[in-house]
Structures are given as structure tokens and as C-alpha cells.
Amino acid sequence: MQTLIENVNIVNPFEEVKTHQNVLIEDNLIKEITSSKINTEGNVIDGEDNYLLSGFIDCHTHIFAKGFHKEENMANPLGIHFYNAVPHSLQTINAGVTSIRDCGSADLSFKLAQERKLFKAPKIHLSITPLVMTGGHFDLLLPSGFDMEIMYPGFPKGRCDGVEEVLKKTREIKRAGADFIKVMCSGGVLTTNTSPEFAQFNKKELKTIVNEANANNMKVSAHCHSLKGMNNCIDAGFSSIEHGTFIDKKTSKRMVENKVSLVPTLLVHQFLYEHGFPAWDNYAVEKTEKLKEIVKVHKENISVAYEEGVNILMGTDSGVIPHGHNLEELTHLVDIGMSPEEAIASGTVKAAEYLGYNNLGLVKENYVADLILINSNPLDDVSVLSYNDNILHVLQDGDVLK
């Protein structure tokens, strides 16, 4: 099966734009890139002198989630939890994201459905559900005694305490099909009984999780706003920090030394602060008060991390906010000091490298044909990627999904 994309300008980070190129795709790989004419009996797409980029990888999403509203969890049949993934996936594809790293909520069923092409969906790296300590961020047992965590066979409960429990829970999550382990290592904004500046889990627990994950060649990721929590995670051997709101210069240097990546998710806090929460959310006022402090310091601190050379990856926390806004994150990354090329790399080749791929994230021969065609050059203005109408085509493994 061949697909030919004619007359496109190829944009790869840190390379000169290659103009008037023809790209031949065979099966799921880019077979040939040339300025010469290519003959094919397969599908031909007229690129019309537009710009071809790698499809993006969102390194922090929740593809099943629709705001994490406890009230909806209680009111809806369990099936809605799964059906939500279908429109969310289409919104994500239409935004130019062909792969995601899901940081909690999606299970193995989604990965199998995507591989079997049951609906248009991004490829996925799964964490299944995050590990959370009793009373910590994402412990959804309310003061009423009702536990609002979604539970069903094949989806382990995330709550655990002490070395023995976190060891067993890590093994349970791997058994459920996880590609990496996610741990809630600080309080959060959306959980009412926690605060973002406080660390969660102790060092023995964190090291136990990392040791077990490493034994299975799995990376460990930390939801963490807290400075102390971040340093605990660095000591324990975590691979990435998500959010990193209160990061400072010293901690940034430690992350560089220990090769710990940062997924700042700048978009989510700003979006929530601007758009608020549903009127029926009983905790909306408390969440908004927390967001005031988060929005105020987050951008400034991530700028420090960038200046110190921390490896920053694009992630959005979509699912906490509506899906389909993913590439708006790039404008926030440029705002903290990145060049458009660096921002694009954070969601393409750098993200692919972090996930362990050596043939993804660039428009290059023998690379996977996950591609997007956009109507203007994002190196001139990266914000053009924020508008889904500007993204004319999306290909995944050579198949045209948009």
C-alpha cells in the first residue's frame, strides 16, 4: 500500500525547510523523500505547497477523562467512561496529535482498540492509574465515606501505603498492561483534601516503586508541584516530573544532572483559571483559589528550568481540560523562552526519544509515517498550530485520518 504526498515543504526542528518535496509512504513508513517526480499507483495527496511535519506526541493526557468531575462519575453508567474516549480521540487526532502518553484513566482496552483501528485514535502509552497514598492527590474517598474512584475488573485501585503495598501495586499496574508507572508525589489543585506545595509518599516508598519498575524496563513519572517532592523523586530515580510548578534553579540543575525530563503542562492551569468549573461543582471556589497561586508562579519557574537546560516535553493534561486544544501548549512553551523549533521538537522528536523510539518524530526516510500537513510555516508563528482548521491532513502509519 502506497501513498504519495506531492509538493510539500518539510519542517523538521533544527533543519532548513526543504521546499517542493514529494514524500512516498509505503505501508507505515516513509520510503522516499525527493524533489523529483515519483510515480505510484497508490493514493496521491496534493500538498499544494503547504507544510509537512511529524505528528505530535502529547506526553500528558487523560483520554477517557472529561473534567474528572466526581458528580458525573456518580451519575453516569460505567459505559460512558469508555464511550467518552471515542470523541476525545477524534478531537485529539484533528488537533494534530497522533500519539499520547496517558497519565491515568485509560486502560488496555483503549490500546487494543486503537491497534485494531476500531475508531480513529492516537497511539497510546499507558500508565493505567496513578499510585496515590491515603489522603493524597487523587485519593477520591470523600469525607462522606463515598469512594468516587472508578473501579472495574482489570483496572487496579491506585491507593497504597508503605513499602509492601506500593511494591504490590506497581506489580498490579504492570499486570494490567501499563507501559510506565505514574505516581502522585505531591498534593494537587483538583483534589480538595490536598495542597500542591506538600510532598507525598516517602523516599523508601518512591525508591521501591522505581526499583520494581526498572526491573521491568519501565519508566516512572511523578505528578509533582512540590519542590521537596521533586527532589524526593530525583533521589529515587524518577524519569520525569509532570507540572513542576514550584521548581527552582537548584532543582533544575539536579534534573539536568540526573537526566530527569519535565512535562510542565502550562496550558491546563491557564485554561482552568480563564474558563472556570461547572456551576454545579461544589468545590469550584476552593479549586479556583488554588489556581491563583499556580498560574502566578508556574510560568516564571518553568522559564528558570528551561534556562538551566532541563529537557522539556510537550504535555497538556487534556481530560482535565477539554480535548482538542493540545497544540496551544506550544505557544506557552514559546512564552517561557523556547524558540518555535524547540517547542515543536518537545512534542515530536524529543518526545519520541523519551518514549524510546528512534524512528518517530521527524519527516525522514524510514521513519514512521505519522504526519500532519498545515497551511503555513509554524517556524514563523507557532500559534498557527493552535487552530485545528489550519491542520489540513493528519496521517497515522500512512493512513489518512483527517
Domains by residue range for the chain, with CATH = 2-54+361-400 (2.30.40.10), 56-355 (3.20.20.140)
Q: In the structure, what pLDDT confidence band is assigned to residue 226 with cuts at 50, 70 and 90?
A: very high
Q: How far apart are alpha carbons 146 and 62 in whole angstroms?
A: 23
DSSP letter assigned to residue 390: G
Is residue 193 pLDDT above 80, yes or no? no
Angle 378-372-123 from CA coordinates, rounded to 5°: 125
Query: What is the structure's pLDDT at 326?
Result: 98
**Confidence tier at 48 by pLDDT (50, 70, 90):** very high
- In this predicted structure, what is the pLDDT of residue 283? 66
CA distances from 392 to 95, 364, 396 (A): 10, 20, 14
Q: Which three cell numbers stand for residue 313?
A: 516535553
- Give the number of other CB atoms < 10 A from CB of residue 164: 11
Q: Which three cell numbers stand for residue 234?
A: 530525583
pLDDT at 280: 60
The single-letter code of the amino acid at 25 is I
pLDDT tens digits, residue range 262-284? 999 999 988 887 777 766 666 66
The DSSP H or E segment spanning 335 is helix 329-335
Whether 24 has a pLDDT exceeding 80, the answer reads yes
Confidence of residue 72 (pLDDT cuts 50, 70, 90): confident
Q: What are the DSSP calls for 41-89, one per residue?
A: SSEEEEEEEEEEEEPEEEEEE-TT-SS--HHHHHHS-HHHHHHTHHHHH
Candidate from 34-43, 175-184, 331-340 with smallest mean pLDDT = 34-43
Three-state secondary-structure class, residue 336 = coil
Encode pLDDT of 236-260 as tens digits: 999 999 999 999 999 999 999 999 9
Check residue 117 and give its pLDDT: 96
Q: CA 217, CA 209: separation in Å to the nearest integer?
A: 12
Res. 188 pLDDT band, cuts 50 70 90? confident
**Three-state SS for 354?**
helix
Query: What is the predicted pLDDT for the residue at 146?
Result: 84
Q: What is the mean pLDDT of residues 366-380?
A: 98
Banded pLDDT at 149 (limits 50, 70, 90): confident
| pLDDT of the residue at 247 | 98
